[in-house]
A and B are shown apart, each in its own frame.
Chain A
Amino acid sequence: MEEFALTTLNGVAMAALYFLVAAGFSLIFGVMRIVNMAHGSLFLLGGYLGWSVAALTHSWLLAIVAAGAATAALGLMLQQGLLRHYQGQELTEALITIAVSIVIADLLVATYGGLSYQIPAPVPLGHSIRIPGTALRYSSYSLALIGVALATGLALWLFLERTIWGVVLRAGIDDRQMVAVLGLNIQRIFALVFAIGAGLAGMAGVLDGTLLSLVPGVDSSYLVAALAAVIVGGMGSLEGSAVGALVVGMATEFGIGYFPSYAEALTFAVMAVVLVVRPTGLLGKAR
């Protein structure tokens, strides 16, 4: 029973990390129809940058802010410099991000080598605490991670639901032409969304580097996890990313806990089942 509870909690913590990666990925897809195959690379780049900043300044907070800002800026450059010229050419855009991801991954190996990097957790979060009302002890960092994901989700939700930008953005997801016809500046929104998505990926990289470790290869594993999460949850939907991340997080943890040799295949089996039942994902709109 305790084992089950712990695995569930681990699933939620993993889902928190997946959500931060998947939400940006999904928003970018929803608004621009871009499958950002460089999303995992931005994640890993953010993590490494965070490590460097933390090593220099000994400040975890500074690390996460710097990594988020740097990857947001890079995402903006990627969108403005390369992708903007190919708007609407979905395959071309996906291919550009693939090429960029190959280059980033290679340059990261050249810079940081193949060793594992761990970012020291901020001091107050380095221990385990008792979960109120139970006998369970759990890592306070993982609990904080769940909090960060919830707060980020809430902030994104408020942004989408309560601000004028958000209204335009949601209108853009539903009907891009209509927004353009209304004379709204969709370009600025595209740029903003890409920057937010990239920045979230970079911050998630730092969070992952603190929870687990950074090493070449996690870029593609998180890209694949984000992919699975948005397929399960439904493309372009914030709630969908959350639900998808939760499903994938649970599948990952229960998989490795109870059927470890089939852990990764299990995630995708769940995805295939969802596809059969609802081709547009659990919360995706029919297309």
Chain B
Amino acid sequence: MIAFHGAPSGRSLAWCSTLLAAIVLPFLASSFVTQDILALAAWSAIVAMSMVFLSKYGGMISFAQVGIYGVGSYSFAILAVGHGVPWYGAVAGALVAATLCALLFALLVARTYGIYFLMVTLALGLVVYFLTISNYGLTHGSGGIPGVNPPHLGSISLAQPIPEYFLDSSVAFAVLLGLTLLMRTQFGLALQGCRDNPRKMRAMGYSVMSYRVIAFTLAGSIAGIGGVLGVWYNGIIAPSYLDLTRIIDFLAIAVIGGMESLEGTFAGAIIYAIVTTYASSFTDRYNTVIGLVLLAIVMFAPGGVGGLVSRVGARLALAKAQLTPASTE
């Protein structure tokens, strides 16, 4: 990070080119790539971001985010398809439901830490999965609720590749920006303090519990946003969207991107979408390929793509600084 401080022009150039690429790419790419790689990656990244946010700033590795995302998806589907609520009402209902579910989970798990936290949240995520299977009256069991459609804005259907891509990616970008800015506020700094040294924060009069609960609830709202965009993309929600395999899918996205890098989730989601889409064209054993890719990243690039890029960036900056020693002062 420090490496780039000396070269602000390079950084803004990189930002501009990224933004340009993000705007131009969907017009060059096929509709498949726009929708089923890029748009898919954008909303998946939101769910993964809720995971990475908790891990990076709160020190909490939560496997319950997919369950909460599911609460968002189901709430939207039940309201919009089952009760004919207009889309904006259903979106509001979905976000409220996901947030409340996250608050409930937060109150259950706020007193647990570390790897224990991981296990307990995994179990809570599975509770949502099992409840969606068994509560036939509400969720229609394993078949789920089909017929979910994203709204039309004027004459534009958000189910079309390019509109869906721009919607999903701008929401994802807004979430990224919002979280990053939030972490610079008093609240963000205190949360990070609670992560690093809960005892000291407690002594200073902060309620560590409250910060953890608020952070978890906020992450739940974000997962809920992913839930709404996800159910629009899929057109259906069913228990199998929340099972252990799917929990691992989103975890893999977070890990490939880097558990310490919010923006890495975009790269993680794109890479994961590419691998899962194309690996099956080469081999029936594509799950083995996915497992090995995950293993390789965990073992050889523990920071994920985010960590890799910052390492390369730091090395480049170092080389540059060594090449031009006089120009720095």
Q: Do chains A and B touch in the complex (CB under 8 A)?
A: yes
Contact A227 B119 (CB under 8 A): yes
Whether a CB of chain A sits under 8 angstroms from the CB of B176 is no
Whether a CB of chain B sits under 8 angstroms from the CB of A55 is no
Contact B131 A99 (CB under 8 A): no
Contact B294 A98 (CB under 8 A): yes
- Given A35-B115, A103-B291, decide whether A231 and B126 contact each other with a Cβ distance below 8 A: no
- Given A98-B294, A265-B127, decide whether A107 and B288 contact each other with a Cβ distance below 8 A: yes
Binding site for B on A (CB under 8 A): 29, 33, 35, 82, 85-86, 89-92, 94-96, 98-103, 105-107, 110, 220, 224, 227-228, 230-231, 235, 261-265, 268-269, 271-272, 275-276, 279-280, 287
Whether a CB of chain A sits under 8 angstroms from the CB of B33 is no
Instruction: Give bound CA distance, A145 to B253, whole Å.
Output: 41
- Given A92-B302, A95-B255, A103-B291, decide whether A287 and B113 contact each other with a Cβ distance below 8 A: yes
Instruction: Give bound CA distance, A114 to B259, whole Å.
Output: 35
Instruction: Give bound CA distance, A102 to B276, whole Å.
Output: 14
| Residue contacts A-B, CB under 8 angstroms, 21 given | A29-B115, A86-B299, A90-B114, A94-B115, A95-B251, A95-B255, A96-B298, A98-B248, A98-B294, A106-B288, A107-B288, A224-B244, A231-B119, A261-B134, A263-B134, A265-B127, A268-B124, A271-B123, A275-B112, A275-B120, A280-B116
| A221 and chain B: residue at smallest CB distance | B244
In the complex, chain B residues 293-311 whose Cβ is within 8 Å of any chain A Cβ? 294-295, 298-299, 302
The interface residues of chain A lying within 8 Å CB-to-CB of B136 are: 261
Whether a CB of chain A sits under 8 angstroms from the CB of B111 is yes
Output the residue of A99, A107, A235, A269 with the most chain B CB within 10 A: A99
Whether a CB of chain A sits under 8 angstroms from the CB of B133 is yes
Whether a CB of chain A sits under 8 angstroms from the CB of B122 is yes
Instruction: Give bound CA distance, A273 to B158, whole Å.
Output: 42
The interface residues of chain A lying within 8 Å CB-to-CB of B111 are: 279
The interface residues of chain A lying within 8 Å CB-to-CB of B85 are: none
Interface of A, secondary structure class, is helix
Contact B291 A102 (CB under 8 A): yes
Contact A265 B295 (CB under 8 A): no
How many residue pairs bridge A and B at CB < 8 Å?
107
Interface of B, secondary structure class, is helix
The interface residues of chain B lying within 8 Å CB-to-CB of A272 are: 108, 124, 127
Contact B130 A275 (CB under 8 A): no
The interface residues of chain B lying within 8 Å CB-to-CB of A103 are: 287-288, 291-292, 295
The interface residues of chain B lying within 8 Å CB-to-CB of A98 are: 248, 251, 294
Partner of A268, one of B109, B130, B251, B294: B130
Chain B count of residues within 8 A CB distance of the other chain: 40
Partner of B248, one of A35, A102, A269: A102
Contact B127 A106 (CB under 8 A): no
Whether a CB of chain A sits under 8 angstroms from the CB of B81 is no
Instruction: Give bound CA distance, A26 to B287, whole Å.
Output: 28
For the complex with contacts A95-B294, A102-B290, 17 further pairs of A-B residues with Cβ separation under 8 Å are A85-B299, A89-B302, A98-B248, A101-B291, A102-B294, A103-B295, A107-B288, A224-B126, A224-B244, A227-B119, A227-B123, A235-B116, A264-B133, A269-B127, A275-B112, A276-B108, A280-B112
- Given A110-B285, A272-B127, A279-B112, decide whether A96 and B291 contact each other with a Cβ distance below 8 A: no
- Given A224-B244, A231-B123, A272-B108, decide whether A99 and B298 contact each other with a Cβ distance below 8 A: yes
Whether a CB of chain A sits under 8 angstroms from the CB of B219 is no
The interface residues of chain A lying within 8 Å CB-to-CB of B298 are: 92, 95-96, 99
In the complex, chain B residues 76-113 whose Cβ is within 8 Å of any chain A Cβ? 108-109, 111-113
Instruction: Give bound CA distance, A64 to B113, whole Å.
Output: 38
Q: How far is the CB of A274 from chain B (nearest CB, A)?
A: 10
Whether a CB of chain A sits under 8 angstroms from the CB of B118 is yes
Partner of B134, one of A96, A107, A227, A264: A264
- Given A106-B288, A107-B288, A271-B123, decide whether A94 and B134 contact each other with a Cβ distance below 8 A: no
Output the residue of A92, A102, A106 with the most chain B CB within 10 A: A102
Query: What string of 1s and 0s marks CB contacts (under 8 Å) between B137-156 and chain A?
Result: 00000000000000000000
Whether a CB of chain A sits under 8 angstroms from the CB of B225 is no
Output the residue of A96, A110, A261, A268 with the most chain B CB within 10 A: A268
Whether a CB of chain A sits under 8 angstroms from the CB of B61 is yes
Instruction: Give bound CA distance, A237 to B113, whole Å.
Output: 18
The interface residues of chain A lying within 8 Å CB-to-CB of B123 are: 224, 227-228, 231, 268, 271
Q: How far is the CB of B72 from chain A (nearest CB, A)?
A: 19
Q: How far is the CB of B87 from chain A (nearest CB, A)?
A: 30
